[in-house]
Structure 1
Amino acid sequence: MVFSGLKRTENLNKMEDQQLDLLVVGGGITGAGIALDASSRGLQTGVIDMQDFAAGTSSRSTKLVHGGLRYLKQFEVKLVAEVGKERAIVYENAPHVTQPEWMLLPIYKEGTFGKFSTSIGLKVYDFLAKVRRHERRTMLSREETLEKEPMLKKEGLQGGGYYVEYRTDDARLTIEVMKGAVSRGVTAVNYTKAEDLLYDDKGKLVGVKAVDLLTNETYKIYAKKVVNATGPWVDDLREIDHSKKGKYLHLTKGIHIVIDGGRFPMDQAIYFDTTNGDGRMIFAIPREGKVYIGTTDTTYKDEPVNPRMTSTDRDYLLEAINGMFPTMKLTAEDVESSWAGVRPLIHEEGKSPSEISRKDEIFVSNSNLITIAGGKLTGYRKMAERVVDLVSQQLHEEDGREFGRCMTDIIKLSGGDVGGSGHFEDFIGEMVKKGVHEGFSDEEAKAIAEKYGSNAEWIFDIAKDNKDTAKRYGLPADILATVIYGIENEMVVTPVDYFTRRRGATLFHIQWVKTWKEAVIRYMSDRFGWSDEQRAGYIEELELALTEAVTPVE
């Protein structure tokens, strides 16, 4: 299959010309996971998303494939056990987008976790999540805790817990899952909205009427089964299906802010209590020379397409950081960038946003619209397995076909063929040698290998073949190569697709985006043949993204 931004129309025509076994509406991590699982079992599968892949919640998380330690407080034992085990699977199958991150949990007098409860909680966590021996928790004295992070508030500090989480690039994880699905025959297209649903004369769902939002062309896509994996928009599709009954979504918003590491020189990831007494906990995580802090958890009732940081959100996190790191005295001017995401939780009466369960649930309507709601990034693979088990069972009952069990626990994601997680550093070393041989600096080659994994060689080859083009557009070879790779192999069609979701640069390297945006847009405009009007629109979209990353909405 082709996963090129230049082949979207071709892919939509292909979907319209056949009856699929399964159409997945929604191209976030859940939809991508369903597509990979379904295709690996032999189902002819298509995916559409009204935005770019991962443009919703799946690029706006805390960027942790984590076991959910705090869910032990809510006695969500099964959830902790499942997602804890899933961390290791994601890491093994995609070590280029998932890395262990030792997390320090400082313990304060009258804090959320006491010394004894932290020790027991982390031990239970290790057991439930089947944490590898060398990654099991360690309890630290007050002195050892301050040695790990000297900037911590010293008053009331009793010690700390030290345990492993897994840091990820959520958008790239989603893209790598989707690329794995496409390599197994899935047809996937972004910027294509399910505008209406199609039914047979018995009222059973048989497909969707979809509109390509970039061309305004309309397509009728027929499928034996349709899965609603649209995250914050699942109730919108249920309303079209007239099946929004009983349980419904409760959207909550979480924001993160990014501070330069020079201003906030922290090397140790921290999970800590807010000091305002609201009982919430916050992450502060170093990444790529920056530190990002989050998250908030507030009920959200606006349109979820473009949630924004408010000054109240920002100030809440700054207060939390300054309370735990009193020498920092961070202000709004120190915030380089931010992002906001919406969690599609299943409503529970009387519970605050932070108390609502992160468990997923499947709804099946009278028309047989299959909806997956709730859940966490970490649990995407098991959510997909449950959905595809249901779809496979229905198809077997209808036409007798047999489908195998879920195999995604052993499927390497795109870019993951690096010899296993234990050999990733060796792989990086080899890739750096190859990159340097092709004219890259050590730093450039390492950055590409770490982000693209085993696809790095492909990018090195693209750079070698396009040196003259890079000079013509005034772009470094490594940047142009990733733009070309993104267009041809990751369905990049807009500058924001590239800068925000394929590179993560709008979030963590906003100045880099400002430096190279004009040259990248010039190349993309020529490659796609944009009109002056289209080009102006995409420039405006990127400028808006850069502004909104820094400027709060009131």
Structure 2
Amino acid sequence: MTSELSPRARAANLMRMASETFDVVVIGGGIVGAGIARDAATRGLRTALVERGDFASGTSGRTSRLVHGGLRYLKHMRIGLVRQAVRERDLLLRQAPALVRPLPFLIPAYRGHGPGKTSIRFALFLYDSLSKDKVLPRRAWLGPEGVLMREARLRKEALEGGGIYHDAVTDDARLVLAVIRAAANAGAAVANHAEALAILHEGGRATSARVRDRIAERIFEVRSRAIVNATGVWLDRLRSHREGAATARPTKGIHVLVPRDRVGNRGAVVMSAKRDGRTLFVLPWNDLALVGTTDTDYVGDPDRVLPEADELGYLLESVNETFPEAHLTARDVVSCYASLRPLVRGPSSREAESDISRRHEIYEDRDGLLSVLGGKLTTQRGMAEEVVDRVCVRLGRPLRCVTRDAPLGPRPDTEAEFRGMGFDDGAALRLASRHEPDA
């Protein structure tokens, strides 16, 4: 088998899908679907994956680009959620060093605004304690002078110090592609621009998916012993046998990219939104600063989600509050993007957007369709393991998960290979995080 994702490989995979019967078909080519396909294929299950657009063209390619444990969830004492995410973060740092890289964060403490120094120091202590493998440097505390030596253009008034902690950063779309490649290399038939139109049934059970090749405009059926719906905010479109109300509650997040020299941040900075105190990030992204993210309920067509002017203003005014010399306006925006988080709908319709559960859920409908909702880049591997465990029970095949120990993405020496081709250190680093040398 090959990890090639070429038009020729796609055509061959579509032929396989139309002619073979699979153990599991995964619908959705974001990070969750990719992770499920990788896990299933590496266990030896005959696996197929279809994605109606490009791989990672939905939420998974429009994230904050962070691989993180969710420090802010400690505010609500969601210890189990954070522990799981921290440990999956540490796994990714070991498995994919060319794709997932450590990133230090500074949280400044201001008197009368945002979290105080006592709560920050306790949160960082707890965050460190949840990391079992200790693959990242430990936290540190800086006084006001130390904070300003690190980030000279931060607001100085009422500054009481700041905490340093580490998470990780990735190119989100490239991480998805690396997981897709791993699935293909293990034997999965994967195809983008292949849309699942409907789930077909025999004797009341889901037995196949009707799929449209959106390039050749051909419709065919993919037969499978198990079908997994991993379409995120589009989850309920395929669930004809679900009971009760819709399970997905989309919340909207936007990000904005502005010139980094205007902001003046040397590294990653955590800040509190000026209007409502929400936790925001300013991240270094080459010569730009990536600012995000908003978190608002969304009602509308998930295919037409766009940033709004007021949302841009919310982010820009928060940067200007934290970095007073920035003076950012809408004219300074280089790029912006919006996405929808596929969160689990709770029992209360009045839940605040930021309080909706970040956990994931696996649903099994009366027809046997498995659907998975929630999660994020960081936790996809563990989610996939749970889903495929369910599939294996159904198939009567107790196969062991192997993704915990498997490398992912370009080889660790890829950066050195690019330097050997004559690229400078910065270019070699950027290329290694995106491409194999022979890609």
95 and 441 in structure 1: CA distance in 2 versus 1, 3 angstrom threshold = closer
306 and 410 in structure 1: CA distance in 2 versus 1, 3 angstrom threshold = farther
2:171–2:433 contact (8 Å) kept in structure 1? no
1:143 offset after TM fit, Å? 1.3
Match of 2:305 among 288, 304, 307: 307
Match of 2:402 among 398, 407, 410: 407
Calculate the TM-score normalised by the size of structure 1.
Answer: 0.76
Q: Distance in 2 between matches of 1:328 and 1:27?
A: 38
Cα deviation per residue 1:405-429 (whole Å; 9 max; x = unaligned)? 21111111131x32xxxxx6xx523
Q: Distance in 1 between matches of 2:61 and 2:262?
A: 25
Segments of 5+ residues of structure 1 without an aligned counterpart are 419-423, 460-554
Q: Distance in 1 between matches of 2:22 and 2:135?
A: 45
Structure 2 match to 1:352: 352
Q: Distance in 2 between matches of 1:149 and 1:57?
A: 31
Structure 2 match to 1:368: 368
Structure 2 match to 1:328: 326
Match of 1:21 among 20, 23, 27: 23
Cα deviation per residue 1:13-51 (whole Å; 9 max; x = unaligned)? 211101000000001000000011101111000000111
Q: Distance in 1 between matches of 2:360 and 2:165?
A: 26
1:359–1:376 contact (8 Å) kept in structure 2? no
Give the paired residue count.
435
Cα deviation per residue 1:146-194 (whole Å; 9 max; x = unaligned)? 1111111112211111000101111100000000110000000011111
Structure 1 match to 2:416: 429
2:316–2:329 contact (8 Å) kept in structure 1? yes
5 Å-filtered alignment, 1:19-418, equals: 19-130=21-132, 132=134, 135-200=137-202, 202-238=203-239, 241-246=240-245, 248-276=247-275, 278-348=276-346, 349=348, 350-396=350-396, 401-403=397-399, 405-415=400-410, 417-418=411-412
2:251–2:342 contact (8 Å) kept in structure 1? yes
Q: Secondary structure at the match of 2:252?
A: strand
1:208–1:220 contact (8 Å) kept in structure 2? yes
Cα deviation per residue 1:194-252 (whole Å; 9 max; x = unaligned)? 1111111x2000011011112210010000000000011001111xx231525611101
1:134 offset after TM fit, Å? 5.5
5 Å-filtered alignment, 1:477-488, equals: none
1:20–1:44 contact (8 Å) kept in structure 2? yes
When structure 1 is superposed on structure 2, of 281-290 and 6-15 the one drifting more is 6-15
120 and 191 in structure 1: CA distance in 2 versus 1, 3 angstrom threshold = same
2:307–2:336 contact (8 Å) kept in structure 1? yes
1:129 offset after TM fit, Å? 2.7
Cα deviation per residue 1:76-126 (whole Å; 9 max; x = unaligned)? 110100000111111111111111110001111233322111111111111
1:103–1:270 contact (8 Å) kept in structure 2? yes
Q: Secondary structure at the match of 2:15?
A: helix
147 and 446 in structure 1: CA distance in 2 versus 1, 3 angstrom threshold = closer
1:295 offset after TM fit, Å? 0.3
Calculate the TM-score normalised by the size of structure 2.
Answer: 0.95
Tell which structure's C-alpha radius of gyration is larger.
1
60 and 68 in structure 1: CA distance in 2 versus 1, 3 angstrom threshold = same
Cα deviation per residue 1:307-352 (whole Å; 9 max; x = unaligned)? 2111111111011111111111111110000111100111121211
Code of the residue aligned with 2:49 in structure 1: it is V
Q: Secondary structure at the match of 1:343?
A: strand
Structure 1 stretches (4+) deviating beyond 6 angstroms?
Answer: none
Q: Distance in 1 between matches of 2:391 and 2:101?
A: 33
1:10 offset after TM fit, Å? 2.7
1:108–1:158 contact (8 Å) kept in structure 2? yes
319 and 179 in structure 1: CA distance in 2 versus 1, 3 angstrom threshold = same
* Structure that is richer in helix per residue: 1
Q: Secondary structure at the match of 2:105?
A: strand
Q: Distance in 1 between matches of 2:136 and 2:81?
A: 23
Segments of 5+ residues of structure 2 without an aligned counterpart are none
* Structure that is richer in strand per residue: 2
Q: Distance in 2 between matches of 1:354 and 1:402?
A: 38
Structure 2 match to 1:543: none
Cα RMSD for the two superposed structures: 1.6
Q: Secondary structure at the match of 1:377?
A: coil
